[in-house]
Amino acid sequence: MMNQIKHEQIAHIITKQHNLEQAMLAEFEAGTYTIDNPLVKLNPYGVCPLTAMVLFETPVMTEATIVVKGKEHPGDIRHTFPASKKHILPVYGLYVDYENTVEIVMANGQKNTIRIQTGPIHPDVPLATSIKTTPEYMGHNMMFLTAAMRAMPVGYDYAGDVRWYSNENFAFDVKRMPNGHILIGTERLVKMPYFTTGLYEMAFSGKIFKEYRTPSGYHHDQFVMEDGNILVLSFDFYSGTVEDMCLLIDPNTGEVLKSWDYKNVLPQDVAGSGSQDEHDWFHNNAVWYDKKTHSLTFSGRHQDAVINLDFETGKLNWIIGDPEGWPQEMVDKYFFTPVGDGEFDWQYEQHASVILPDGDVMLFDNGHFRAKNKENYLANSKNFSRGVRYRINTEKMTIEQIWQYGKERGSEFFSPYICNVEYYNEGHYMVHSGGIGYENGETCEGMAVMKVMQPEFKDSITFNSITCELKDDVLMYELHVPANCYRAEKLPLYYANETAELGAGKLLGNLIETQTTKMKIKAQETGQLVPDHYEASIMEEEDRMTFNAIFETGEMAQLLLLDEAGEVRRYPVNTVAQNFQAMCVGTFQKADPRNVDLFINKTGLSGKYQVKLIAEEKLYETGVTISA
């Protein structure tokens, strides 16, 4: 049996959302909606099921306040919108699987109470197992956790109730921008294990205003500068290494204004952490811009090193980390010497380094292996993770440990990967240990997130994520979630002066041109369609296509694109099972390693192309033509 392979044309999420918005506005225009009879749209943009839009008209300009009633009074979420006659009001903070009570209160005293019923929670959204805090401490803030495995981004209130989540795998960190929007990684994979096309700028309604596409892809972290430009962690797609570049992106055009390649300032074959490999030699997981010193700070997990570069020249200023294994001339020039009477530990495989207002450096010290030398590696069960604050003197090149939290909790708080810290104010910090794993209830040796993908371990592995906040060393907040969560960010759902921002979103920047190969595989032309056992399919998007099929490991295969003039482009299909030493986001992992995706960007393509497959030394038709 051979049929034309499945070919699906998928509109970009921005296009889909524009269509949803236009339909909603057309419905609003066509009806007579008043405060007593408003139009209510649950999940208006299709990606955030605990949000709604309430639309109605008033005869005169007046302010409107929305109050989403909590299950208890402190759970009320309210926001006042500017005066208008046409009211289009985003509603945030609905409870899951619940008949929510929402009050609309007008400035002139008019009121109405509406009910909004939400559906059951997505199975990949983790429910909190415990929370210790007070409503006074949390106020209107939610704790947002982003996923590190099969989990969705989610926001919990003071009581540990889910009040926001997305049903899309938006990846890595969520950050609030100065304009109130949030910035989060897209769900569009460009390369395994977790590199995506770039970033979405969106509202908590799910409305996406912009996709910032980066040529080679995005991972881990981003930072919005005062002038609006965005620092984005990336890599060079065809260099053979990953997670070792940073880009500066123009927020209006998506253009890459500047880039920093750490291969220019660091050796790639010295002082590796226990997780290092040639491909992922640095594993950059954080970026921070410091205005005072006009410098960039990057965390490199696979060198146990936090590095600082001059913003303009890209020159290396300093390195924080255990100097063992580094060339002596680098140790003499760039490394710090510990001082002070207090306790001191170097950090290992750290995450989320930030520069504080006084120049101190704060980070999450995962402590994985906790040594540079294999003989001294610590077992996970005897190890600890912590938030730590270091004071550095760049004149004398000294370092002092001035605060830490987590060491005293031992292996219970140990996360070999992911995690973050946040500085709110002097003495007021968050420490998020999001990568805790257990095997049969005991601290898991090795990486639980890797083991759970193997059938023999599947039932014995469990996960935890512990998010703590401390004020003057008093524990003010502790949340436990039975999943691994990449980072935690505390944010209110609404920002000051938030309104519904309407209109089509923009697709900015460009994806890299996908490399072809000149190598021809000898293949017999069959004139037949791709055999069914490949389970082949093509998903075509506006800016790229994805070919998916099941191949035997190591099978020789190529995808061919034939243009209207008969010119052939050949794309190699990688059928070799890949082994990743680091798995910060396992969301995109597949159970069957033979299940292969080939992404072909439409950058550099123009016109119509017939798609053909070479496999088993035979040339097969797919029956599919794509357009670029």
DSSP state letters, 14-45: HHHHHHHHHHHHHHHHHS--BTTB-EEEESTT
The answer to whether position 124 is within a domain reads: no
The answer to whether position 20 is within a domain reads: no
Q: Which residues on neighbouring strands pair with residue 37, listed in sequence order?
A: 34
* pLDDT reading at 555 higher than 90: no
- Mean pLDDT in residue range 552-567: 91
CB 351 within 8 A of CB 362: no
Q: What is the CATH number of the domain that holds 44?
A: 2.60.40.3100
- Tell whether 142 and 90 lie within a shared domain: no
Three-class DSSP category at 57: strand
- Tell whether 185 and 251 lie within a shared domain: yes
- Mean pLDDT in residue range 587-611: 84
Q: Give the pLDDT score at 587.
A: 54
Structural domain containing residue 96 = 32-118
Helix H or strand E encompassing 131: strand 130-132
- Tell whether 533 and 474 lie within a shared domain: no
Could you read off the pLDDT of 326-374 as tens digits, one per residue? 999 999 999 999 999 989 999 999 999 999 999 999 999 999 999 999 9
Helix H or strand E encompassing 138: helix 135-138
- Tell whether 182 and 296 lie within a shared domain: yes
The answer to whether position 11 is within a domain reads: no
- Tell whether 359 and 400 lie within a shared domain: yes
Q: Give the pLDDT score at 589.
A: 58
* pLDDT reading at 583 higher than 80: no
- Tell whether 103 and 247 lie within a shared domain: no
Could you read off the pLDDT of 415-461 as tens digits, one per residue? 999 999 999 999 999 999 999 999 999 999 999 988 988 889 889 99
- Tell whether 265 and 282 lie within a shared domain: yes
- Mean pLDDT in residue range 90-109: 97
Our count of domains for the chain comes to 3
Q: Give the whole-angstrom CA distance, residue 550 versus residue 548.
A: 7
* pLDDT reading at 576 higher than 80: no
Among residues of the chain, what percentage have pLDDT more than 70? 96
Q: What is the CATH number of the domain that holds 615?
A: 2.60.40
For 385-451, the three-class secondary structure string (H helix, E strand, C coil) is CEEEEEEEECCCCEEEEEEEECHHHHHHHCCCCCCEEEEEECCEEEEEEEEEEEECCEECCCCHHHH
The answer to whether position 139 is within a domain reads: yes
Could you read off the pLDDT of 22-58 as tens digits, one per residue? 999 999 999 999 999 999 999 999 999 999 999 999 9
The answer to whether position 27 is within a domain reads: no
- β-pairing, 111-117 vs 99-106, is antiparallel
Helix H or strand E encompassing 135: helix 135-138
- Mean pLDDT in residue range 133-154: 92
- C-alpha distances (whole Å) from 176 to each of 170, 179, 182, 184, 213 are 15, 8, 4, 9, 19
Spatial strand order of the sheet with 6-9 comes to 6-9, 537-540, 544-550, 595-601
- Tell whether 250 and 292 lie within a shared domain: yes
- Mean pLDDT check: name the lowest of 113-122, 577-586, 610-619: 577-586
Q: Give the whole-angstrom CA distance, residue 554 versus residue 575.
A: 5
Nearest alpha-carbon partner for 270 in 243, 302, 245, 301? 302
pTM above 0.85, yes or no: yes
- Tell whether 107 and 222 lie within a shared domain: no
